[in-house]
């Protein structure tokens, strides 16, 4: 795990990159116990994904030791989200934070439906992207992969994401690409592993046709898995690691939790997604 130090309103990682602070880690509810945080991961057959997600939850607990933090998966790994919510019951409210980077079907339909079918009193937070903290993590991972401090004139980046048919999801990825391009000072082209175009190989070829000879692939994935591996294999130059346990990710999960509490005022809603 990358060590961090806090200076004023900025968290600085050991690699020298900055992760922007986003205010308090959680909103206190006067006279009440804070609602549980349920991190909702997709699930993967790759065993590295589950170990990465568990480590990330450990980072969240380290930032907020008194906050109850639970894990639920949409599919493929245990515990599944319905089982996690069933164990919570209706005794205390919970905020579900998707460990997903865009507003696709899982965020707009699957998670609210699972939550609505449970006895738990829940609120579904926004997905992690787009957000400046996500750009911080992407930038840091590119630097770790060897992105040069001096911007190459023929450099460009393909932002590799899972993909979705939902236009809101693609719009969010495009916004993340725009912000990462502003941070790097080079073109950043969004590309997808499934369900949307262009694919990562297509984006690499498009940039090469425009004269960019050093094209990096930025992995916009929360953990290792099939999509991350396939996109990495298409990289003609450097490829960054999945975002995993970068310090900005734990802070972003807590920010979405806090944001959901501020939106609802109390956490008594039933599976209502945050706008």
pTM: 0.85
43 Cβ contact list (under 8 Å, min separation 6)? 49, 73, 74, 75, 76, 77
198 Cβ contact list (under 8 Å, min separation 6)? 189, 191, 192, 206
Mean pLDDT, to the nearest integer, of 226-245? 97
Beta strands in 139-257 (DSSP E): 155-161, 188-192, 214-219
Report which of 2, 74, 69 is spatially closest to residue 37, judged by C-alpha positions.
69
Condensed to tens digits (0 to 9), the pLDDT of residues 109-156 reads 999 999 999 988 999 999 999 999 999 999 999 999 999 989 899 999
Query: Which pLDDT value is given to residue 64?
Result: 97
Query: Which pLDDT value is given to residue 265?
Result: 44
Residue with tokens 């006895």: 119
Provide the 10 A C-beta neighbour count for residue 154.
13
Condensed to tens digits (0 to 9), the pLDDT of residues 61-116 reads 999 999 999 999 999 999 999 999 999 988 779 999 999 998 878 898 999 999 99
């Amino acid at each position: 795990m990358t060590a961090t130090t806090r200076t004023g309103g900025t968290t600085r990682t050991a690699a020298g990159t900055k992760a922007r602070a986003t205010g308090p880690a959680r909103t206190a509810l006067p006279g009440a116990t804070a609602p549980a945080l349920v991190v909702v991961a997709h699930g993967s057959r790759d065993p590295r994904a589950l170990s990465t997600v568990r480590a990330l939850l450990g980072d969240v607990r380290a930032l907020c030791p008194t906050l109850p933090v639970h894990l639920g998966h949409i599919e493929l790994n245990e515990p599944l989200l319905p089982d996690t919510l069933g164990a919570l019951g209706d005794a205390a409210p919970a905020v579900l934070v998707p460990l997903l980077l865009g507003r696709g079907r899982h965020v707009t339909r699957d998670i609210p439906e699972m939550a609505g079918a449970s006895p738990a009193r829940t609120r579904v937070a926004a997905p992690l992207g787009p957000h400046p903290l996500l750009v911080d993590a992407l930038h840091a991972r590119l630097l770790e992969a060897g992105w040069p401090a001096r911007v190459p004139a023929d450099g460009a980046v393909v932002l590799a994401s899972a993909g979705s048919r939902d236009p809101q999801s693609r719009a969010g990825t495009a916004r993340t690409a725009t912000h990462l391009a502003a941070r790097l000072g080079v073109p950043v082209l969004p590309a997808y592993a499934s369900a949307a175009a262009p694919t990562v190989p297509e984006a690499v070829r498009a940039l090469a046709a425009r004269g960019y000879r050093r094209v990096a692939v930025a992995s916009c994935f929360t953990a290792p898995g099939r999509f991350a591996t396939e996109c990495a294999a298409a990289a003609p130059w450097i490829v960054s690691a999945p975002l995993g346990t970068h310090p900005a990710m734990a802070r972003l999960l807590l920010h979405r939790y806090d944001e959901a509490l501020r939106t609802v005022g109390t956490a008594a809603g039933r599976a209502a997604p945050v706008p």
